[in-house]
Amino acid sequence: MTYDLIVIGSGPGGYSAAVRAGQYGLKTAIIEKDSRLGGTCLLVGCIPTKALLHAADMWDFATHSAEQGITIDKPVLNYPKVIERKNGIVSKHSKGVEFLMKKNKVEWIKGFGTIKGPGKVEVQTDKGTQLLETKNILIATGSEARMLPGLTPDADRILTNIEILNLQAVPKSLMIIGAGAVGVEFASMFNRFGTDVSIFEALPRIVPVEDEEVSKELERLFKKDKIRVETGAKCDQVQKTATGVKMKVTLANGKVEDVEAEKLLVAVGRAPMTAKIGLENTKIRSERGFIFVDEYQQTDEPGIYAIGDVVAGTPQLAHVATRQGMIAVAKMTGKPTTPIKRNRIPGATYTDPGIGSVGLTEAQAKAAGYKVKVGKFPFLANSKATILGSHDGFVKIVADEKYGEILGVHIIGPEAFELISEAVTAMESEATVESMMATIHAHPTIYEAVGEAFQNVYGLAINI
């Protein structure tokens, strides 16, 4: 039997592409090595973390509600129940992906896929090995947590995103190596659950891909919440002890310190899962496992496409994987499509407060030669933020002085990960600072802070 498309990997990239292929009437199969569909994002990434972060928000409310005139007598954190709820959300949505495969007539093949050459995929299943033929192959095999050299994760003390999601009790203390999105989200979550959290980052600032002012604000707020933040810090000599884990940290000032905690989370980035998928049987170009593609996700081997976390040069985000899947399937079926615009990819980080960003940071815009104008507005001056009791953070607009082009928008504050959508839509539809200044924002909303930040590109915000 010959397929039109075989997708390898059922993360947000692979399963969405399979659905789209089904919608276009392609005879499609999806190969997944795990027993459940959904990939990193659904099973051990975006969804379970956000479920636990929501529980942290609820716990925060339960323990601080007296400030709002609501007294909750001795709230109790039933953490196993929190984990059970998170597992329920994951299972429900994984079943949802199964349903989508059936609805769109996508065949789910359970096993490990290896490319044997153009148009040929071998699957190792429980029942043996099968060789499948197909017109197109889509590599969507995603990524896995990187480890520090010599370290192996275990279920108890040295953890990656997988193990930490299944702890049955809130740890007393937690060290985190790496302050990218994954590291800071777990820091924010466990800090609110009552863990003593320290976070160590080798680079000079936390959330290093964000605008510098956003990094500074998050660090300030983390420290206010008693999270220990060490940037420019190098960690080594990690060892398990009788009660936890210890390691040596060389701090930014050169001082070497022994640090110890009950658990260690290693969040130092994600490596592409391409080692055993048969790239050597193709003309595909790759570097350190990352696959090179053109703007339509085509690899150097005709008929083989790659999307998501395995792709070189695009951020490892679920919505990027999904969009790349749409582009790849459109391309292989001759449908019109537009490549991803690198500066219009939103990022969403669910710390407390959250971060939402899109486009160039102020430093990147200046380095690119723009004459930059910045408009900022603090949530302190936004009435809805006062109502929510969430005053920290700001909206920052990075614009080009010449034509009022919006180059980037950076938000740290309440619901920042939702607010950023307005900026993405504005940039995608080529709105200018002027047209955003004329856009009416309903009152009282936190969106008004976005409108005010646009006004403030010209020093015209009303409420500060």
Ligand X SMILES: Cc1cc2nc3c(=O)[nH]c(=O)nc-3n(C[C@H](O)[C@H](O)[C@H](O)COP(=O)(O)OP(=O)(O)OC[C@H]3O[C@@H](n4cnc5c(N)ncnc54)[C@H](O)[C@@H]3O)c2cc1C
Active site residue 64: no
318 binds ligand X (CB under 6 A): yes
321 binds ligand X (CB under 6 A): yes
Contact pick of 22, 45, 119, 353 for ligand X (by CB under 6 A): 45
CA dist 118 and 207 (Å) reads 40
- Within 13 Å of residue 411, how many CA atoms lie on the same side as its CB? 34
- List, in sequence order, the alpha helices (H) in 194-274: 212-224
Instruction: Spot the catalytic one: 54, 391, 410, 443.
Output: 443
Q: Which listed range, 7-15, 219-227, 251-259, 442-450, lies at the site for ligand X (CB under 6 A)? A: 7-15
Counting residues that bind ligand X (by CB under 6 A) gives 35
Inter-residue contact 454 to 437 (CB < 8 Å): yes
Contact pick of 18, 41, 158, 245 for ligand X (by CB under 6 A): 41
199 binds ligand X (CB under 6 A): no
Shortest reach from residue 397's CB to ligand X, in Å: 23
* Between 180 and 451, CB nearer to ligand X: 180
Inter-residue contact 201 to 252 (CB < 8 Å): no
Cβ contacts of 107 within 8 Å, gap of 6 or more? 28, 29, 30, 101
* Between 143 and 382, CB nearer to ligand X: 143
* Between 277 and 461, CB nearer to ligand X: 277
Shortest reach from residue 94's CB to ligand X, in Å: 10
Shortest reach from residue 309's CB to ligand X, in Å: 4
* Between 33 and 64, CB nearer to ligand X: 33
Q: Which backbone phi and psi does 310 adopt, to 5 degrees?
A: -85, -10
308 binds ligand X (CB under 6 A): yes
6 binds ligand X (CB under 6 A): no
Cβ contacts of 269 within 8 Å, gap of 6 or more? 145, 146, 178, 180
Contact pick of 5, 6, 7, 8 for ligand X (by CB under 6 A): 8
Residue type for position 425: T
CA dist 200 and 349 (Å) reads 18
46 binds ligand X (CB under 6 A): yes
Inter-residue contact 93 to 42 (CB < 8 Å): yes
Contact pick of 49, 215, 361, 390 for ligand X (by CB under 6 A): 49
Each residue 330-349 as x (binds ligand X by CB under 6 A) or -, in order, gives ------------------x-
Give residues 112-151 in contact with ligand X (rule: CB under 6 A).
Answer: 112-113, 140-143
317 binds ligand X (CB under 6 A): yes
Residue 391: exposure state from Cβ atoms within 10 A (0-12, 13-18, ≥19): middle
Residue tagged 């033929």 (tokens)? 133
Q: Kind of pairing, strands 347-349 and 196-201?
A: unpaired
CA dist 138 and 133 (Å) reads 13
Catalytic residues: 443
Give the binding site for ligand X (CB under 6 A). Answer: 8-14, 31-34, 39-41, 45-46, 49, 112-113, 140-143, 161, 182, 273, 277, 308-309, 316-319, 321, 348
